[in-house]
C-alpha cells in the first residue's frame, strides 16, 4: 500500500507538536513508532492467520478434491468449482467458498465480513491519502466536507458501476490487477522517502544514520524484487504473446524510470550535502573573523 506512506505523513503533520523543541519531536517520534508498529504487527498477525488457514486447506489439493468436499458439505456454490485433477486455483470468491466447504458455512460468512472490512479500510486509506496529496500539490481550499465527498465519490462510484455490470469472478480478477499496479508504484513512494529522511538539511539531527540507511535500502530492494517477481508471474499466467511483448516494453521503461528516480534522488542528496558543507564553511569563516 504505497499510498499509506503519504497518509502516515499527513497524520503525523496533523499532531500538535512543538517542532522547535527537539526533545518534544523526539518524544513524538517514539510514540509514532509505537503506533505504527502495533498497527503493522496486528496486520501481520491477520495475514499469518489467513495464510495458515489457506495453506491447511489448499496445499496439495486438486479441483476434484475440493469439488468432492463441497459436494459432501452440500455447498450451494458447488457449480462454480471445476471438476478436473489440475492443481487447485482459487481467487478471493472461490477461496471463501472452499473455506466454507471445509470449516462450515459460518467460516464463509466470516471470510466475507473480513473481505468487506478490508475493502472498506483500503478504500478509506486510499481516499484520505489522495485527499492529502491533493491538498499538498493542488493547494485546494475547499471545505473538508467537499473534499471528502469528491474523493470518496471518485473512489466508490467506478467500483459500484463495475460491480453492477460484472460478475464476482471478474471482480476477483480486477483485485489481482490492482495488487499488481500497487506493486509497480512502490518505488515511487519508498525511494523518495528514503532520500528525504537522509537529507541533513531537511531532517537535521533526526537524519537517518548509516545503519538506518543500509537497512532501509536493503528492505526497499527486497520488497521491489519480490513485487517484480510477482508482476512477471502474473503476466505469465495471462498466456498471450502480445501481452508478453507489451509487458516487456513497459517493464523496460519502468526500470529506466526507477533508475532515473534513483539518480535524481542521489543528485538531490549530493546537492544537499554540498550546500550543508558550504554553509558550515561559511559559518566557520564568520566565527573566525
Taking only the tens place, the pLDDT of each residue in 115-146 is 888 877 777 777 777 777 777 666 766 776 77
pLDDT at 13: 75
What number is the average pLDDT over the span 86-100? 82
pLDDT at 45: 92
Report CA 6 to chain centroid distance, whole Å.
Answer: 11
Q: What is the pLDDT of residues 53-76, one digit of tens each?
A: 888 888 888 888 888 888 888 888
Q: Which residues contact 88 (CB under 8 A, 6 or more apart)?
A: 58, 61, 62, 63, 65, 66, 98
CA dihedral 45, 49, 50, 54 (to 10 degrees): 150
Phi/psi at 13 (nearest 5 deg)?
-65, -25
Determine which of 173-177, 239-243, 273-277 has the lowest per-residue pLDDT on average.
Answer: 273-277
pLDDT over 50 (residue 282) = no
Q: What is the pLDDT of residues 152-167, one digit of tens each?
A: 777 678 777 777 776 6
| Distance of alpha carbon 161 from alpha carbon 241, whole angstroms | 31
pLDDT band at 184 (very low <50, low <70, confident <90, very high): confident
pLDDT band at 93 (very low <50, low <70, confident <90, very high): confident
| Distance of alpha carbon 163 from alpha carbon 247, whole angstroms | 27
What number is the average pLDDT over the span 31-57? 87
239: left (phi over 0), alpha (psi -120 to 50) or beta: left
* Per-residue exposure over 59-88, b if at least 16 CB sit within 10 Å of its own CB, e if not: eeebbeebbebbeeeebebbeebeeeeeeb
pLDDT over 50 (residue 285) = no
pLDDT at 63: 85
The whole-model pTM stands at: 0.66
Report CA 106 to chain centroid distance, whole Å.
Answer: 30
What number is the average pLDDT over the span 178-195? 77
pLDDT band at 286 (very low <50, low <70, confident <90, very high): very low
Q: Using alpha carbons, list the distances in angstroms from residue 108 to 93, 96, 103, 234.
A: 10, 5, 8, 27
The cell numbers describing 279, all together, are 554553509
Amino acid at each position: 500500500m504505497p499510498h499509506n506512506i503519504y497518509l502516515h505523513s499527513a497524520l503525523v503533520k496533523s499532531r500538535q507538536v512543538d517542532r522547535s523543541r527537539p526533545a518534544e519531536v523526539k518524544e513524538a517520534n517514539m510514540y509514532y513508532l509505537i503506533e505504527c508498529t502495533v498497527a503493522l504487527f496486528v496486520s501481520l498477525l491477520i495475514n499469518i492467520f489467513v495464510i495458515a488457514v489457506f495453506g491447511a486447506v489448499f496445499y496439495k489439493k486438486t479441483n476434484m478434491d475440493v469439488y468432492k468436499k463441497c459436494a459432501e458439505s452440500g455447498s450451494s456454490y458447488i457449480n462454480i468449482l471445476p471438476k478436473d485433477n489440475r492443481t487447485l486455483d482459487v481467487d478471493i470468491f472461490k477461496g471463501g467458498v472452499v473455506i466454507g466447504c471445509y470449516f462450515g458455512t459460518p467460516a464463509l460468512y466470516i471470510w466475507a465480513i473480513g473481505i468487506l472490512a478490508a475493502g472498506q479500510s483500503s478504500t478509506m486509506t486510499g481516499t484520505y491519502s489522495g485527499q492529502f496529496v491533493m491538498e499538498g500539490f493542488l493547494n485546494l481550499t475547499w471545505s473538508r466536507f467537499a473534499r471528502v465527498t469528491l474523493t470518496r465519490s471518485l473512489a466508490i462510484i467506478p467500483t459500484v458501476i463495475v460491480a453492477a455490470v460484472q460478475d464476482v469472478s471478474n471482480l476477483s480478477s480486477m483485485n489481482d490487477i490492482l495488487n499488481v499496479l500497487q506493486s509497480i508504484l512502490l518505488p515511487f513512494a519508498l525511494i523518495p522517502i528514503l532520500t528525504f529522511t537522509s537529507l541533513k538539511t531537511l531532517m537535521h539531527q533526526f537524519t537517518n544514520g548509516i545503519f538506518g540507511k543500509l537497512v532501509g535500502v536493503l528492505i526497499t530492494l527486497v520488497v521491489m524484487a519480490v513485487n517484480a517477481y510477482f508482476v512477471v508471474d502474473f503476466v505469465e499466467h495471462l498466456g498471450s504473446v502480445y501481452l508478453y511483448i507489451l509487458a516487456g516494453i513497459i517493464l523496460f521503461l519502468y526500470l529506466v524510470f526507477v533508475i532515473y528516480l534513483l539518480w535524481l534522488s542521489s543528485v538531490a542528496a549530493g546537492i544537499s550535502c554540498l550546500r550543508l558543507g558550504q554553509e558550515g564553511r561559511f559559518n566557520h569563516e564568520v566565527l573566525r573573523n
